[in-house]
Structure formats: C-alpha cells, structure tokens
Amino acid sequence: MKNRKNHVIYFATSNLNKIEEVKKILKDYPVKIKHIDKKKPEIQANDVEEIALRSAAWIAQEVERPIFVEDDGLFIKALNGFPGPYAAYIFETIGKRGILKLLDEQMNRKAIFKSVIAFCAPKKDPICFIGVVSGQISMEERGAYGFGYDPIFEPENGPGKTFGEMTMCEKIRYSHRGKSVKKFVSWYLESTTE
Amino acid sequence: MKNRKNHVIYFATSNLNKIEEVKKILKDYPVKIKHIDKKKPEIQANDVEEIALRSAAWIAQEVERPIFVEDDGLFIKALNGFPGPYAAYIFETIGKRGILKLLDEQMNRKAIFKSVIAFCAPKKDPICFIGVVSGQISMEERGAYGFGYDPIFEPENGPGKTFGEMTMCEKIRYSHRGKSVKKFVSWYLESTTE
C-alpha cells in the first residue's frame, strides 16, 4: 500500500508551513495532498472546532469539491486560555515575546495545543477530528525549526525539547497536528474504501 | 423636538453596559432605543467595520426588522495594533493587567479606540458609522467608572483622566462610542424625516 498515492485530498489553507507538515505526516499513507489556496472567512468564536467546521462548510460550497481545513489554538492555563483560537492574530501582534512577557514570574506554565481538522463535501455536513497535546511554555525561545509558537512550546512526555528544537519528523510524533491529521486520514480511507 | 421619543431604533447587543451608554448618549435625541438580546456570530476579521457590517446584516435578516449593532476595538501602537478587534476576548483572558504588563517599560503608549455602528434593514445593505478617539494607555488602572478597558485609556485632549475616572456624561463627550452613535442617529433622523 505504501507509496500508492491513489487518494487525492484537497487541503484549503493559506499557510504553506501547514501544507509541508501535513504532507510529511502522511508520507506513508496512500493519499496525495493537493493545496487549495483559499482564504476563508473565519468566524469569531472561542472554540476552534466551530471555526474549523464553518470554514470547511463554506469553502466546500465555494470550490464545489470535498476539502479539509486545519485550525489550531494554543491555550495557556495561567492566562485563562489566552491566546486560544486567536493564536494567529496574536502571533502577528505581540508574538512569542509577548506571551513570554505575560508569563514572566509565572510558575504555572501549563498549556495545551489543539489542532482541529474539519472535512466537508459539498451539500454534506462537515465533520471534525481533534488532536491535542499537553505541555508547557518554555522560559525562553528555543530552536529554529517549525513555525508559530513552536519555539516556546515543550510537549509533555517528550525529550525535553521545544517543538522549535525538533526536526519536523520528530515533532509530528508528539504534535497535536500529527494526531488530528492521522485520525482524519484513517477515517477517510476507511470510509472511501468500503 | 426634545424628549419626543418618536423614533424607535433596535440595538442588538448582549452587553448591557453598551445599552446604558448609548441611551445616555442619545438622551437629547428624539429616539427611543430598544434592546434586542441577540448573540451574533462574529466573523474573525482584523477589521472592526467588516465584523460589524456582517453581524448587522445577519441579525437584521434573523429578526426581520431594522437593527443596529456596535463593535469596538482598541489598537495599541507599540503592540502592532493588539488587542485590536479581539479586545473583548482578550479582556476576558489576560485583561487590563495583561495589557499593562505587555507595555511595561514601554514609553510609547499611544492607542486608538474605535467604535463602529452598523445599521441594517432586512434585504438592504448594511451601512456603518465610525467614531475614533486617540489617546494613551495609562501607567496603571485608574477609576471605577465605565467598563472594559476604560480604566486604562486616557483620551487625548481630555482632562488627563482615564475613561474610568469619568462619569458616563463626561466620558461620552470624548468617547469613540459617543461619536459613532451621534453620527449614526443624525443620519438616521435625516433619512427617515424626508
């Protein structure tokens, strides 16, 4: 089965890092990921699932084919869940340095990274797959791999490195996105090959 | 004309502070504000106008009558516009204290408060009215009036007080919301009384 890329699945995103990561996660699966560069109108909800489900439904309708989207959120316990589903906007404004500043002198650095894949076919209801990883916010930025908050997130049960210190292959063994993508594709393959 | 409250306008919001403030702003206008407690699906956009326009269009359709909504944003220059249109979510998580912490040791404390009123009648296009006030983020919280970020926002050309140190009557002389509401209602009265 390996390397028989006989299932084409469309991934709607404007984040090229995510495309690369999803392809790496699926390198041993019989699927081929194709990119749709579709800007989605994200709703403002405090819930990553709701954002992803609505985006997927909207885009599937627009492009008239089955697609999936991926949304994620970083929820820091001592900050009441901040930056939450607005992680992307907050990354562009106050960034990793802002997060570290907010946690200055804070001993409780627990955080959760959550990835939601929402899949939708036109005129069907969207469905979602969730991947979660617990961990902590590091005391300082470490590592140059990855993107976004990777250099300040250290997964639990990992080798004590931040995602920014892991190669992509190492990161996807622990990551929220590794989990959500694999759940989704396992379901997809099961439901398309009777 | 004063006190002849002959125009009824529906304000869709779930924020009771806003209702009270809008009524106070309009106390000398011949309009009566009625509250519609409608939770709106806010889109995630970096632009308060777009959020307000879409919310208004959606709610007008839902409730089948003309309504207005009000959305606001706080844009802090040294934080690249953070918290921006997500001021409400960020208020609930890191709050005023988080903002002050992010600006710790920052001399540039310039900020803009923006209020957008969007009005929409069913099957019509929504229209918006903008009120902006420039000012700065204070060094610490001051005052117990108002709500949200009022105790840390000091308007330019004001009496050197934060909005939190002003009574509602005083605040609305300077505030972004005072401006947007008056612009809207002046237009409304002009367009409904031939």
In chain A, the residue whose alpha carbon lies closest to the alpha carbon of B40 is A44
Instruction: With beta carbons less than 8 A apart as the criterion, state whether A133 and A180 touch.
Output: no
Query: Which of B44, B55, B77 to substitute to test the interface with A, most A CBs within 10 Å?
Result: B44
- Residue in B85, B93, B102 nearest the CB of A101: B102
**B84 and A79: CB-CB below 8 Å?**
no
Query: Which of B93, B97, B103, B137 to substitute to test the interface with A, most A CBs within 10 Å?
Result: B93
Q: Scan residues 97-156 of A and list those with Cβ closer than 8 Å to B.
A: 98, 101-102, 104
Q: Give pLDDT tens digits along chain B (194 positions).
A: 444 668 999 999 988 899 999 999 999 999 999 999 877 665 666 689 988 998 999 999 999 999 999 999 999 999 999 999 888 889 999 999 999 999 999 999 999 999 999 999 999 999 999 999 999 999 999 999 999 999 999 999 889 999 999 999 999 999 999 999 999 999 999 988 65
In B, which residues are within 8 Å of A86 by CB distance? 44, 86, 89-90
In A, which residues are within 8 Å of B101 by CB distance? 101-102, 104
Determine the pLDDT at residue B40. Answer: 67
**A43 and B46: CB-CB below 8 Å?**
no
The alpha carbon torsion through B56, B57, B58, B60 (nearest 10 deg) reads: 80
Sign, CA torsion A157/A159/A162/A165: negative
Determine the pLDDT at residue A87. Answer: 87
Determine the pLDDT at residue A2. Answer: 47
Positions of A annotated as catalytic residues are 71
Going by C-beta distance under 8 Å and a sequence separation of 6 or more, which residues neighbour residue B31? B5, B7, B8, B9, B185, B188, B189
A:B CB pairs within 8 Å: 71
| Separation CA A39–CA A21 (nearest Å) | 19
| Separation CA A124–CA A59 (nearest Å) | 12
DSSP assignment letter at B94:
T
Whether cis (ω within 30° of 0) applies to the bond prior to B83 is yes
- Chain B CB within 8 Å of residue A41 CB: yes
**B86 and A81: CB-CB below 8 Å?**
no
Determine the pLDDT at residue B87. Answer: 87
Instruction: With beta carbons less than 8 A apart as the criterion, state whether B118 and B68 touch.
Output: yes
3 state DSSP class of B133? strand
Going from the N-terminus, what domains does chain A have, and what CATH number goes with each?
7-192 (3.90.950.10)
| Separation CA B90–CA A169 (nearest Å) | 34
| Separation CA A84–CA A72 (nearest Å) | 8
Strand positions, DSSP E, chain B? 7-12, 31-36, 42-44, 67-76, 83-84, 110-120, 127-137, 153-155
B135 closest CA partner among B152, B153, B150 = B153
* β-sheet bridge partners, residue B12: B36
Instruction: With beta carbons less than 8 A apart as the criterion, state whether A73 and A48 touch.
Output: yes
Determine the pLDDT at residue B99. Answer: 97
Determine the pLDDT at residue A3. Answer: 47
How many CA atoms within 13 Å lie on the side-chain side of B10? 15
Enumerate the H helices of B79-138 as residue ranges.
87-93, 95-102
**B98 and A86: CB-CB below 8 Å?**
no
**Interstrand relation of A31-36 and A7-12 (parallel, antiparallel or unpaired):** parallel
In A, which residues are within 8 Å of B98 by CB distance? 79, 82, 102
Q: Give pLDDT tens digits along chain A (194 positions).
A: 444 668 899 999 988 899 999 999 999 999 999 999 877 665 666 689 988 998 999 999 999 999 999 999 999 999 999 999 888 889 999 999 999 999 999 999 999 999 999 999 999 999 999 999 999 999 999 999 999 999 999 999 889 999 999 999 999 999 999 999 999 999 999 988 65
**A51 and B41: CB-CB below 8 Å?**
no
Reading the block at residue B121, the tokens are 């009648």
B23 closest CA partner among B13, B126, B87 = B13
Determine the pLDDT at residue B37. Answer: 87
- Residue in B41, B45, B93 nearest the CB of A84: B93
Q: Scan residues 21-40 of A and list those with Cβ closer than 8 Å to B.
A: none
3 state DSSP class of B175? coil
Instruction: With beta carbons less than 8 A apart as the criterion, state whether A173 and A156 touch.
Output: no
Query: What is this structure's pTM?
Result: 0.83
Reading the block at residue B110, the tokens are 């310039």
DSSP string, chain A: -TT---EEEEEE-S-HHHHHHHHHHTTTSSEEEEEE-----EEE-S-HHHHHHHHHHHHHHHHTS-EEEEEEEEEEGGGTTTEETTHHHHHHHTHHHHHHHHTTT-S--EEEEEEEEEEE-TTS--EEEEEEEEEEE-SS---SSSSTTGGGEEETTS-S--GGGS-HHHHHHH-HHHHHHHHHHHHHHHHH--
